[in-house]
Structure 1
Amino acid sequence: MARSGTANVDGGSRGNPGPASWAFVLKDDADGEVIERTAFMGQATNNVAEYTALLELLDYATAHQFKKLKVYSDSELMVRQISGVYKVKNADLLPLYEEAKELIEQLQSFEIIHVRRELNKRADELCNKSLDAEEKKLGVAAPEKKAKAKPTASPAQKDLRERCLPLIEFYAEDWRNGSPVKPFSEMLLKELLNAIEGKNSED
């Protein structure tokens, strides 16, 4: 019995090229069964990983009597190449493209659609899961995030702060009470300038 399905595919490389993985999530349109597959694939580029994900999906689909497929991918390049909008010029991608087209020809209908990454979330999660598992197996620790050092005030800055803050607090209180002797901003500015220059207010 011919089956139809809806799938999401994703491939990723940490380093591009670097450690890479592929994943697909295939839902049977008839009974809602969801098939998820993912695997680490060694060193590869992002684009090779994306094509590998599509090939793995097509291999599985044709082997399990899926004749109609609608596929979602966040790889705009691959989607446009498979759709015939872009030509495949990269020597590494050409054989993958040709293999994918041969498998697609075995289907009764096929559609591939570009989506944003957030709409391809589960396939992306599976890719990262495979990469994380491989890194853990190899003992590769995730880089630690260094806390940003807080700037340390110099003795001169601390002294200036100690002299200026009381002035600000004093005039702010006076202003709130509505009884400044002179315009608040003028007096505060004068006192702050005196403090910065190390003068006494009586000078």
Structure 2
Amino acid sequence: MNHLVIFTDGGCSGNPGPGGWAYCLVDDAGTLLEERWGAEPQTTNNRMELSATVAALTRVLERSEFQGLPITLYTDSQYVQKGISEWIQAWKNRGWRTSNKEPVKNRDLWEELDRLNSLLVISWRWVKGHAGNPYNERVDRLTQEAIKSLGDAV
């Protein structure tokens, strides 16, 4: 394997509300290597999108066979893709404040994502959600299953 592909998704039933996240790790031949999901009873869509990405990259660092591989990470969240690719440096320069001088929401997850991004070689890609990409559709289904796993919280 010369390259690792990651698909992530997160969502909520209500926003805020019960939420779930999921990721798939895929090799360069398109074979599913691993998938995981998680859920929180009270959260936001953006936190779940970030949680999926942080969980996936943390897992990459845990698996020795992935060390040193370039990664392409697909997300259907422009918040995640633009946040890590375009906005984060300005946030850090302003002391974790937005251009409106408001505190950056989800700072804890952004700081962890920034740390992980600095340890790995990642190409960040946005993919349109619900547009037929098989692995994006898969992580969406897993996210919905994660939310349903909360039972009465939904």
| Normalised TM-score (structure 1) | 0.61
- Work out whether residues 4 and 30 of structure 1, in 8 Å CA contact, stay in contact via their aligned partners in 2: no
Compute the displacement of 1:85 (Å).
Answer: 4.5
1:76 is aligned, of 45, 59, 78, to 78
Farther-moved stretch of structure 1 (64-73 vs 7-16): 64-73
Whichever residue aligns with residue 95 of structure 1, its letter is D
Compute the displacement of 1:39 (Å).
Answer: 1.3
Farther-moved stretch of structure 1 (78-87 vs 60-69): 78-87
Structure 1 runs of 4+ with >4 Å offset: 85-88
Q: Does 1:116 align with 2:128?
A: yes
Secondary structure of the residue aligned to 2:9 is strand
Taking the TM superposition and a 5 Å limit, the aligned residue runs for 1:38-187 are 38-65=37-64, 66=66, 67=68, 68-85=70-87, 87-88=90-91, 89=98, 90-107=103-120, 109-118=121-130, 119=133, 120-135=136-151, 138=152
Match of 1:13 in 2: 12
Match of 1:4 in 2: 3
Whichever residue aligns with residue 85 of structure 2, its letter is S
Q: 1:84 to 1:33 in 2, by over 3 A?
A: same
Q: How far apart, CA to CA, are the structure 2 residues paired with 1:13 and 1:80?
A: 20
- Which of the pair has more CA radius of gyration? 1
In the alignment, structure 1 segments of 5+ residues that lack a partner are 141-203
CA-atom RMSD, angstroms?
2.2
Compute the displacement of 1:7 (Å).
Answer: 1.0
* Number of aligned residue pairs: 136
Q: How far apart, CA to CA, are the structure 2 residues paired with 1:34 and 1:6?
A: 10
Q: 1:33 to 1:13 in 2, by over 3 A?
A: closer
Q: How far apart, CA to CA, are the structure 2 residues paired with 1:14 and 1:85?
A: 27
Compute the displacement of 1:4 (Å).
Answer: 3.2
Q: 1:63 to 1:4 in 2, by over 3 A?
A: farther
Q: 1:47 to 1:29 in 2, by over 3 A?
A: same
Larger relative CO (CA 8 A, sep 6+): 1 or 2? 2
Q: Deviations over 1:158-203 (max 9, x none)?
A: xxxxxxxxxxxxxxxxxxxxxxxxxxxxxxxxxxxxxxxxxxxxxx
Q: How far apart, CA to CA, are the structure 2 residues paired with 1:33 and 1:52?
A: 20
- Work out whether residues 6 and 29 of structure 1, in 8 Å CA contact, stay in contact via their aligned partners in 2: yes
Identity of aligned residues (%): 29
Q: How far apart, CA to CA, are the structure 1 residues paired with 2:153 and 2:126?
A: 35
